[in-house]
Amino acid sequence: MSPVQQPEEDISLRIQELAGNLKIRDVMTRHVFAVTRTCTMRDVQTIMKNNAISGIPVVDSNHVVGMVSVHDIMSAFEQDWMADAVADHMTTGVRTLSEEQPLSFAMSAFSKFPYRRFPVVNRKNELVGMVTLRNINVALIQELSRQLATMETEGGRVTPPASSDSCIFYRTYRLARYDFESGGKASAELREQLRVRGVAPKTIRRAAVACYELEINIIAHSHGGTLTLYIDRDCVRITANDFGPGIPDVEQAMTEGYSTANDWIRSQGFGAGMGLPNTKRLSDEFAIQSGVDMGTMIKSIVNLNTSEELSDESK
């Protein structure tokens, strides 16, 4: 049989789509610490330390005139400028974003410029917020969760990929970090779906274990993600997508016994470094792609009704 092709998802397109309706105003932090020109570098350092922030805008009647970063503070320590006014040592020519702009503007600003935060201004050019990559990530994940929740309340039966008119079952599950409670829901449903269709027990087990391993992987090792089950007459396709942190060395992760699991994960009985190799072993087709800080996509296909399976069963 020919395996069902996973529709190629253009990730950046998907992100653009998610960000589509959001404006910078929707994601920015509104509670902003700002200082005036006459504050000292030491004042700024104290505010940073007490509030665990790494960059503070300098304002003059609500207009941004500069920024002080941790880097500037370090230079000030080195040069003995801590008692000086911020006006003397701040970074000037600060780039600001407008609260009316779409979120995608902020995303391209982060990829274009080396800054880790941007002050956000209103139409009168007054400081109204700050935006960091974290704001953006949180907003995208929230938006994704919202869309998934909508999917789930609609019975989880979203439109399957157009190419697959032979699709029997299609469902997406949302999995959160360390939510071991939810681990196993997808595999239980997969098992039941295959059982009622009279699939051989050996095949059911392979598919269910592969699915369970991928569920646990998302829960134990990622910031959260989704798992999609797709069943047609010929095969089961399990797709696991997570939101990061990504696997720096995929080859190493595929090695039996290699694990990055912490003690807590191990205390749950997991973390022997077998998850990925075991999933691959059980799959008829297996593919993994990972980008650090982007996420990991894993595809596992288990063929149904293979002749090998039939001969196994007749033993």
Partner 1 sequence: MNKLKPLIDVLSATILNGPPGWEDREVRGVFASDLISDILVSDGEETLLLTSLLSDQVLRTADVIGAVAVVLVNRRHIPAALTKAATKQGLPLFSAPLSKFNACVRLGPLMEMA
Binding residues for partner 1, rule: CB under 8 A, are 180-181, 183-184, 187-188, 191, 201-202, 204-205, 208-209, 211-213, 268-275, 278
Q: How far is the CB of 292 from partner 1 (least distance, A)?
A: 25
Q: Which is nearer to partner 1, 164 or 268 (CB)?
A: 268
Q: Which is nearer to partner 1, 213 or 232 (CB)?
A: 213
Between CA 54 and CA 45 the distance in angstroms is: 9
| Torsion angle (degrees, nearest 10) of CA 121, 145, 238, 297 | 20
Of the candidates 192, 145, 143, 197, which has an alpha carbon nearest to the alpha carbon of residue 172? Answer: 145
Q: Which is nearer to partner 1, 160 or 275 (CB)?
A: 275
**Residues contacting 112, CB < 8 A, separation 6+:** none
Q: Which is nearer to partner 1, 26 or 189 (CB)?
A: 189
- For Cα atoms 209, 298, 11, give the angle at the middle one, nearest 5 degrees: 150
Q: How far is the CB of 258 from partner 1 (least distance, A)?
A: 12
Query: Which residues lie across from 300 on neighbouring strands?
Result: 238, 286
Q: How far is the CB of 179 from partner 1 (least distance, A)?
A: 12
Q: Are 245 and 204 in contact (CB under 8 A)?
A: no
Q: Which is nearer to partner 1, 186 or 297 (CB)?
A: 186
User: How far from 70 is each of 114, 150, 192, CA to CA, in Å?
Assistant: 14, 42, 55
Between CA 276 and CA 216 the distance in angstroms is: 10
**Residues contacting 98, CB < 8 A, separation 6+:** 24, 120, 121, 122, 123
Q: Are 69 and 91 in contact (CB under 8 A)?
A: yes
Q: Which is nearer to partner 1, 118 or 212 (CB)?
A: 212
Q: Are 128 and 122 in contact (CB under 8 A)?
A: yes
Q: Which is nearer to partner 1, 113 or 264 (CB)?
A: 264
